[in-house]
Amino acid sequence: MAAAAHDRGLDPRIVPLIGTEAPKDPAPLAAAVRRLVASGAAGRHDAPSAVGDRPRVAGPDWLVVTSATAVRVIAGLVTRLPSDLLVAAVGEPTARAARAAGWVVDLVPPDASAAALVEALPDTARSVLFPRSDLAAPTLVDGLRARGIDVDDVVAYRTVGTGDEPITLDTVPAAVLVTSGSVAREIARRMTPLDPGTLVACIGPGTAADARAAGLPVHVIGRTRSAEALLDAVAETLHHSAPEQEGT
């Protein structure tokens, strides 16, 4: 994101507000991984191909990942995915991380949201493994179960703050980029009050709602839920106008 900001003439300052840690109870994740490994032989994920090119075999249908962190956790525990497993990723950044891990990505919904994935998963899906953050909203799990799909819902990592002390910057930022609800809450906890001239820019409507719930104003929302769209919106707003409450 910093490199993409430079490309748009912005001067980024990286402020680490959240990190990840292992689950407090690692047993459910370990059990899910054992089930995954036992479900089939490796092979399909050696090279990309279309879903319709392969025969379906018995075993878990889908692995659903909604963050690059979830990809890294599973890839660190499983050398290769079972040959019959299909992979769905929410958003192109997550899909890129999955492909970088050597996985074939079978489904990326047009809208980078859990709700869109619930709609996009085909009716033939029977079971899903969903490794997630401990802070993940229930949208995906509840939506898939409402469709009659069995979901192995397992915490793969915890999202944690990087500290408690207030954060001050040497210069007033023109914009603060809010890329998740957990980031919004940490900004509100450790960086407020923000300067009235600072844009609060959110990566999508869900994050914007979380930001408002945390007490932050929202001035900019990316047209699509991606880092590129967020930075484009920030650059355009900074170039054309002063901060103004979004929707007013």
The predicted model gives 124-133 an average pLDDT of 95
3-state secondary structure the chain: CHHHHHHCCCCCCCCCCEEEECCCCCHHHHHHHHHHHHCCCECHHHCCCCHHHCCCCCCCCEEEECCHHHHHHHHHHCCCCECCCEEEECCHHHHHHHHHCCCCCCECCCCCCHHHHHHHCCCCCCEEEEEEECCCCCHHHHHHHHCCCEEEEEEEEEEEECCCCCCCCCCCCCEEEECCHHHHHHHHHHCCCCCCCCEEEECCHHHHHHHHHCCCCCCEECCCCCHHHHHHHHHHHHHHCCCCCCCC
pLDDT at 43 over 70: no
Percent of the chain exceeding pLDDT 70 equals 88
Q: Is the preceding omega at residue 193 within 30 degrees of 0, hence cis?
A: yes
Give the pLDDT confidence score for residue 227 in this predicted structure: 87
Pairing outcome for strands 175-178 and 18-21? unpaired
pLDDT at 178 over 90: yes
The predicted model gives 92-107 an average pLDDT of 95
Residue 241: pLDDT band with limits 50, 70, 90: low
The predicted model gives 88-111 an average pLDDT of 94
pLDDT digits 0-9 by tens, 54-68 = 443 344 689 999 999
pLDDT digits 0-9 by tens, 182-216 = 999 999 999 999 999 999 999 989 899 999 999 99
The predicted model gives 131-151 an average pLDDT of 95
Percent of the chain exceeding pLDDT 90 equals 75
Name the residue with higher pLDDT: 188 or 245: 188
pLDDT digits 0-9 by tens, 143-170 = 999 999 999 999 999 999 999 999 989 9
Q: Quote the CA–CA distance of 243 and 155 in Å, as a whole number.
A: 38
Q: Delineate the domains of the chain, giving CATH numbers in brackets.
A: 2-17+165-240 (3.40.50.10090), 21-160 (3.40.50.10090)
